C-alpha cells in the first residue's frame, strides 16, 4: 500500500517543476520512508512521533489515525490521510526517483550521525549514536522539505506512553 496516487503525485511534481513520472513502487517506498520518520527510540522503547494511534490495528501504514491533532491543536480526520503526509510522500518519491535506492540504503556500523538539523532546530549528540529512530539507520536521508512538511504532525498529540511532542 502507499499514500496518495500517481495522478496526485504527478500534479504535485508538475507544480514544483519536477521532471519524471511517479510509479506505484516509488510511492510505496516513499510511504514506508515517511512512516519510518514517525518513530524514535525512548531508551529501548520505540515511540511514535505521530499523534494518536492508527485507526485500524491491522493497517500497514501509520495513517489515518484516531485521536490525532496537529501542533496547532486542530483535530485530524480519522478517516483520511492528512495532506502533509501525502505531500511529504510525493517529495520522498521524487527523491527516490533522483536517488534510486536512496530511501532504503544500508549503512556500515561505523558510520554515525553526530549532528542533525530539521529546519531551525538542530541536535548534536555527544557520542553520535543517540537520536536514531526505530527501524532507521544513520544513513537515512534527511530531506529538508519532507521534514518541514511533516513537522506539524510530528509534534502534536501524545502516544500510549504519555510522551508528548518531539523529545530529543
The verdict on residue 18 lying in a domain is yes
* Domain contains 159: no
Beta bridge partners of 116: 123
Within-domain flag for 63: yes
Contact 46, 134 (CB under 8 A): yes
pTM for this prediction: 0.75
- 167 lies in some domain: no
pLDDT in tens, 6-47: 999 999 999 999 999 999 999 999 999 999 888 877 777 788
SS3 112: coil
Q: Is residue 129 part of a domain?
A: yes
Residue 84 lies in a domain: yes
Determine the structural domain holding residue 136 and report its residue range: 6-154
User: What span, in angstroms and rounded, lies between the C-alpha atoms of 133 and 38?
Assistant: 8
The CB density around residue 5, as the number of other CB atoms within 10 Å, is: 14
Phi, psi values for residue 119, rounded to 5°: 65, -120
**Could you tell me if residue 35 is inside a domain?**
yes
Domain count, the chain: 1
Q: How far apart are CA 140 and CA 85, in angstroms?
A: 18
Amino acid at each position: 500500500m502507499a499514500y496518495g496516487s500517481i495522478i496526485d503525485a504527478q500534479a504535485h511534481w508538475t507544480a514544483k517543476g519536477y521532471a519524471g513520472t511517479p510509479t506505484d513502487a516509488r510511492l510505496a517506498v516513499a510511504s514506508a520512508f515517511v512512516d519510518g520518520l514517525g518513530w524514535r527510540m525512548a531508551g529501548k522503547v520505540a515511540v511514535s512521533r505521530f499523534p494518536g494511534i492508527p485507526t485500524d490495528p491491522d493497517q500497514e501504514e501509520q495513517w489515518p489515525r484516531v485521536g490525532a491533532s496537529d501542533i496547532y491543536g486542530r483535530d485530524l480526520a480519522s478517516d483520511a490521510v492528512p495532506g502533509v503526509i501525502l505531500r511529504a510522500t510525493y517529495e520522498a518519491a521524487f527523491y527516490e526517483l533522483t536517488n534510486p535506492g536512496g530511501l532504503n540504503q544500508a549503512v556500515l556500523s561505523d558510520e554515525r550521525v553526530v549532528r542533525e538539523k530539521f529546519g531551525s532546530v538542530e541536535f548534536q549528540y555527544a557520542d553520535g549514536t543517540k537520536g536514531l529512530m526505530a527501524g532507521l539507520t544513520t544513513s537515512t536521508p534527511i530531506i529538508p522539505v519532507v521534514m518541514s512538511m511533516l513537522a506539524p504532525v510530528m509534534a502534536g498529540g501524545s502516544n500510549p506512553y504519555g510522551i508528548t511532542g518531539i523529545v530529543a
